[in-house]
Amino acid sequence: MNLILDIKTSKGNYDIIISKGILGDLLNYLDEFDFEKIFVITDSNVNNIYGKNIYELLSSKYKVYKKVISSGELSKNINTIADIYGDLADFNMNRTDIIISFGGGVVGDISGFVASTYLRGIRYLQIPTTLISQVDSSIGGKTGIDIRQGKNLVGNFYNPVKVIIDTDVLKTLDEKYFSDGMAEVIKYAFIKDRQLYDILYKSDFEELYNNIDGSMDRIIYICCNIKKMIVEEDEFDTGKRMILNFGHTLGHAIEAYYSYKKYTHGEAISIGMYRVCEILYKNGLIEKNLLGSLKNMMKKFKLPVFDENILNESLLEYIEKDKKNIGKSLKIAIVKDIGKGEIINGNIDFFKEKYNYDCLKK
């Protein structure tokens, strides 16, 4: 069964289609677009498992170039982009041709950025292959690369023409990367959806990870639907969309502090989400139960809640460079109760050891 969502944007709509085994029908989904060449961007991990099959399938009908980048966040830089531009030009990709992003969040962010800038913009289609990219990064049109000073500091908004989510590919995902994606799923539950929390509360890691055919399509659909509602209201991330950044300000800082080597994105934002709630609790703004529920959920899905450098001053330097840090004010996504996220105006003092309520009132 296909689960379909239609995302409205200022420049037209695009579909998200979620289904088990949908990759086998990929050619049918490409039929609606008129083009001659496909430039597939993937990474070394995904290529090892699916690269040959997807190449053979696509080249049965189209001229195909497959670009394989090294897997991992360290590829998300300007050198990779420049290298891809060169290959696109060598392959004579023109404005009517199409890029397929086939991989996780890094591949998706790079592909979107390349698609939005090459020849001043060509179409791209997202086939996210990790849980984190299926529930979050493939939707909403954020593209970007990292620079020395921080994550996603260069990028733009550029929507794909379609997002095709095949839950079958999750069957080859390592446990660590399943947990990584579950961190974003947990985030959606805490910021917006008590019912999703209840589903997660009644499930456990093994039940979901070992039986992808069970509930994962429904869970992914719920997450994509939450993201749809948020990005349709605030496409360019100037207000309500910032709620999706619950745990991310600190999470991004932790990732950058450890040069993207110690934690996955999901692990880093779990530490960030827990820390934010801990600060809220210590300031009397949330009940202890909420902190406990978050911790139990993280534990259940094998995610960390603490890092020894959480108060390190150098970590704060990364927060200063955060995009949500505007002038002296920092937009902070918080959760007051399960399913009840809010954005508050704070400042960097929120994340310091001797935090106090004043930093939330500005």
Q: What does the binding site for ligand GLY look like in residue numbers (CB under 6 A)?
A: 136-137, 140, 142, 237, 241, 244
Tokens of 75: 């590829």
What is the chain's alpha carbon radius of gyration, rounded to the nearest angstrom?
A: 20
By beta-carbon proximity to ligand GLY, the closer residue of 38 and 163 is 163
Closest CA to 17 of 35, 34, 32: 32
By beta-carbon proximity to ligand GLY, the closer residue of 237 and 307 is 237
On whether 265 is known to bind a ligand per the annotation, the reply is yes
By beta-carbon proximity to ligand GLY, the closer residue of 16 and 68 is 16
Residue 252, CA distances (Å) to 158, 195, 353 in order? 22, 28, 19
On whether 96 is known to bind a ligand per the annotation, the reply is no
Distance (Å, rounded) from C-alpha 99 to C-alpha 96?
Answer: 10
Which amino acid is it at 191?
A: I
Strand extents, DSSP E, 211-314: none
Strand extents, DSSP E, 27-104: 37-43, 63-69, 98-103
Chain Cα centroid distance, residue 298: 18
Q: Nearest approach, Cβ of 168 to ligand GLY (angstroms)?
A: 24
Cβ contacts of 176 within 8 Å, gap of 6 or more: 264, 302
Q: By three-state DSSP, how is residue 3 classified?
A: strand
By beta-carbon proximity to ligand GLY, the closer residue of 51 and 105 is 105
In 205-241, which positions are buried (b, 16+ CB within 10 angstroms) versus exposed (e)? beebbeebeebbbebbbbbbbbbbebbeeebebeeeb
On whether 346 is known to bind a ligand per the annotation, the reply is no
Q: Nearest approach, Cβ of 123 to ligand GLY (angstroms)?
A: 20
Per DSSP, the chain holds a count of helices (H) and strands (E) of 15, 12
Q: Nearest approach, Cβ of 219 to ligand GLY (angstroms)?
A: 17
Q: Nearest approach, Cβ of 235 to ligand GLY (angstroms)?
A: 10
By beta-carbon proximity to ligand GLY, the closer residue of 123 and 187 is 187
Distance (Å, rounded) from C-alpha 80 to C-alpha 111?
Answer: 10
On whether 252 is known to bind a ligand per the annotation, the reply is no
On whether 74 is known to bind a ligand per the annotation, the reply is yes
On whether 233 is known to bind a ligand per the annotation, the reply is no
On whether 278 is known to bind a ligand per the annotation, the reply is no
Which residue number has the CB closest to ligand GLY? Answer: 244
Q: Nearest approach, Cβ of 140 to ligand GLY (angstroms)?
A: 4
By beta-carbon proximity to ligand GLY, the closer residue of 47 and 138 is 138
By beta-carbon proximity to ligand GLY, the closer residue of 51 and 247 is 247
Q: Nearest approach, Cβ of 152 to ligand GLY (angstroms)?
A: 9
Tokens of 88: 């696109």
By beta-carbon proximity to ligand GLY, the closer residue of 111 and 137 is 137
Structure-token match 């699916």, residue found: 50
On whether 121 is known to bind a ligand per the annotation, the reply is no
On whether 108 is known to bind a ligand per the annotation, the reply is yes
Tokens of 25: 């029908």
> CA angle at residue 245 from 344 to 201, to 5 degrees?
105
On whether 106 is known to bind a ligand per the annotation, the reply is yes
On whether 109 is known to bind a ligand per the annotation, the reply is yes
Q: Nearest approach, Cβ of 250 to ligand GLY (angstroms)?
A: 15
Residue 159, CA distances (Å) to 98, 118, 323 in order? 13, 14, 20
Q: By three-state DSSP, how is residue 291 classified?
A: helix
CB count in 10 Å sphere of residue 352: 15
Q: Nearest approach, Cβ of 178 to ligand GLY (angstroms)?
A: 19
Binding site as annotated, residues for NAD(+): 71-76, 105-109, 129-130, 142, 151
Binding residues: 71-76, 105-109, 129-130, 142, 151, 184, 248, 265
